Amino acid sequence: MKIKPLGDRVLVKVLPPEEKTKGGLFLPQTAQEKTQEGLVEAIGESDQIKLKVGDKVIYDKYAGTQLKIEEEEYLILKNTDILAVVEK
């Protein structure tokens, strides 16, 4: 099954939150950490979208619509709900 987002929407695969710090300790999550990371899986046809498939992105946890495909969690987000790209 392949999902094609419409318009200015982007399909993002949700990445599990990294719960360990560099030194290996568990980092408690606070209500203040409202962001979440994901991978761009597919993009809509709008030329407003400056992302490409494979980009690692940061988005607001409370944006978008959740979707489960073959037991994996995805989000359909508006392009403008994606805050930043994480560069390697």
CA–CA distances in Å: residue 40 to residues 54, 60, 78, 81, 87: 5, 15, 12, 13, 13
Q: Considering only residues 21-50, where is the footprint of a copy of itself by CB under 8 A?
A: 21-22, 27, 32-35, 45, 50
Closest by Cα among 58, 59, 54 to 39:
54
For residue 53, state whether it binds a copy of itself (rule: CB under 8 A).
Answer: no
What's the closest the beta carbon of residue 5 comes to a copy of itself, in angstroms?
5
Binding site for a copy of itself (CB under 8 A): 1-7, 9, 11, 21-22, 27, 32-35, 45, 50-51, 58, 60, 65-68, 70-71, 76, 80, 82-88
